[in-house]
Structures are given as structure tokens and as C-alpha cells.
Amino acid sequence: MRAWAVTEHGKPLQEIELPTPEPQGNEVLLEVTHAGVCHSDLHIWEGVYDMGSRGELRMADRGMKLPLAMGHEIVGRVLKCGPGAVGHVKPGDHRVVFPWVGCGTCAACLDDEENMCGNGRSLGVYQNGGYATHVLATHWKHLVAFDGIDPGLAATYACSGITVYSAINKVLPLPAEEPIVLVGAGGLGLNAIAILKALGHGRICVVDVAEDKLAAARAQGATDTVLASDEGTTKRIIEACGGPVAAVIDLVNGTQTARFAFDALRKGGKLVQVGLFGGEMVIPLPLMPIRALTVQGSYVGNVKELRALVAIAQKGGLPGIPLTFEPMDQADAALNRLRSGHVTGRVILTAL
């Protein structure tokens, strides 16, 4: 198999050859047809997370080894099945691959909550992922049929889709006209707008630093948009929403966004932190009990949420997001375009 891999952090991806895996047990080998380029790939490529005053968290310390084919938004065609997968999928089946896999044996994994496993083995992070000609799914249950959905769009559901779906589920139910604030109008933000609309939510306020991203958010269905800047962002959010808000989902989650998001909450409000931009958050502790606030992290999603999200899309209630298609050998160029902020929606790498 060929892979477009990280061989040295921060350096251009390299095309390399690797042994094609032979599926064992419940494993399934797929030929990759589509792979999304996600913002979290930038952190994996750089090999480090900004931990604010606590320094840096290095991917090597989390168990990542190079070379690595990134890519965790994967759609592929089944080529071979391990003995335990026979009868569940067959060669030729086109499937979305759930990438957030765990050890497979702990209580979380057995309950299909593998994203909560303490020994994660996620595809594109700890195992080779979708920036390659082939990918090995660790279990047939991680493969989700998506009949009737564009495969490029279906690929986005494996990360940006279930990530925001899981975060949204942490703030709902709310009245349909209660503003929900989304910080960030990239692939995550646009999918979040689509999912909120599909769930019947009517008031969606999106915050971003770029006017073109806010224009895309309005085209996707955002009812209100706010241009973020160094000063006054909280005030503009409150003005746009008619008062402090019940829920903010921070898809960026940097030092600045965390502060203005927290300050925009009403009494009893909830901030759900999703993004990995980095930094730290300083909270005036008396405000937490005085205003009965909640700050909650949300890490990707589980395979149950992927199945539910695909089902919503198959019913026709989930509008697509802007997609740009590039051949797989342009993975490095696509990653750098994303890094420079020149991507609206999602870049999808396709088989050569």
C-alpha cells in the first residue's frame, strides 16, 4: 500500500510504501476512496498541543509513532474480511469507517463508547488512517453503510459530523428559539449548523474571525453571525442574541475564544469545549456557583452517534457542507491550505 505520511513533525508529508495489512479476527481491509482533511490533523502533523502555562503536550508522549498516515474521516470499499467479519460485510461494500477506536475489551469499548477508552488506538492518530490507498478497520462494527449520501460528505460525518453531533447533544434539549452559539465556521461549524437545523433548532449564532467564513455560515443557515476580534466579542454576541446565552459550543477552544464564550453565558448556561487550538482558561471561581455555570469537554463521538447521524442524513434532513475534492497525492498541499485558513468547508482527498 501507498501512504502520504508524516515522517517528521512539521515537515512535508512523504509518499511511502508500507506492507498492506492482512485482516485478522474481526478486522476488515478497505481500499480508501475518500478521506477528509481535518483541522486536528494539523496538531497531529505538528506533533504538539499548546497547554498554556503547563507547557506542551507532545503526541509522542501520547503514544504516537512515525511514520504515520493521518486521516480519520474515511470512506472506503471493502476488499478483505477477517474470519470474524465474514457475514457482516462483504467485498465491494462501500462504508464510512469509524476511526475513534479503543482497546476493544474495556467497559467503554464493550458499550460502543470507544472514544472514552483510556487506551485509544484511533485511526490516523495511533494507527495508519485515510491518507493512504488502504486502511484496516479494527472491527466490522466500525463500518457504517451510507446509501444515498455522497461519499465525500459521508466521510466528514466520521469526525466533524459526530464531533459536533455529540457536542450538540450535550446542550440540548433547549427551546428552538433559544440561541445556541457556535464558535468557529470551518468544517465543524458548518456541519453543526446543518445538524442543528435538522434537529429543528431555529436560532443559531456563529462567531468567527473571518468574514468569508461568516458568509458561508449564513449560507448554511446561521441566523446570526458575529465577527470576533481582540476586544468586544462578548458584547457583540450578547447583542446579537438579545442577552446572555444558554449554550456556547467552542469549536476553536483557544485562550481568547474560551474567555469570550464563558463571559457570554447566562445564569445556568453551559460552555462545551471541542476544539484543540490550545492555551488555557482562567475562571473566576466564585462565578461558577453564583451563576450555576457548566464547562464541559466533548471528545469526538462514538459509533452509535455515527449511525444515528448517518440515519438523519439518509432521511434527507441534513444539508451538505461545501466540499473541495483533491487527489490523494495532494494531501500535503491540502494540509497547508487548511493551515493558512484558505479552506471553506472541507477538502476531501480521493483515490488516484
Query: For residue 275, is pLDDT > 90?
Result: yes
Q: What is the pLDDT of residue 63?
A: 87
- pLDDT tens track for 146-155: 999 999 999 9
| Mean pLDDT score across all residues of the chain | 96
Q: What is the pLDDT of residue 177?
A: 97
CA-nearest of 222, 141, 140 to 181 is 222
Mean pLDDT value of segment 85-113? 97
User: Hey, is 77 helix, strand or coil?
Assistant: strand
CA-nearest of 126, 152, 8 to 65 is 126
- pLDDT tens track for 208-264: 999 999 999 999 999 999 999 999 999 999 999 999 999 999 999 999 999 999 999
Phi first, then psi, for residue 91 (nearest 5°) are -55, 135
Query: For residue 62, is pLDDT > 90?
Result: no
Mean pLDDT value of segment 151-179? 97
Mean pLDDT value of segment 3-9? 97
Mean pLDDT value of segment 64-79? 97
CA-to-CA separations, 194 to 198, 235, 286, 321, 344, in angstroms, rounded = 6, 26, 36, 8, 15
The proportion of the chain whose per-residue pLDDT surpasses 70, expressed as a percent, equals: 100
Mean pLDDT value of segment 104-119? 96
Rg (CA), the chain: 20
Q: What is the pLDDT of residue 352?
A: 87
Separation of alpha carbons 231 and 252, rounded Å: 17
Query: For residue 317, is pLDDT > 90?
Result: no
Separation of alpha carbons 307 and 288, rounded Å: 35
The proportion of the chain whose per-residue pLDDT surpasses 90, expressed as a percent, equals: 96
pTM for the full predicted model: 0.95
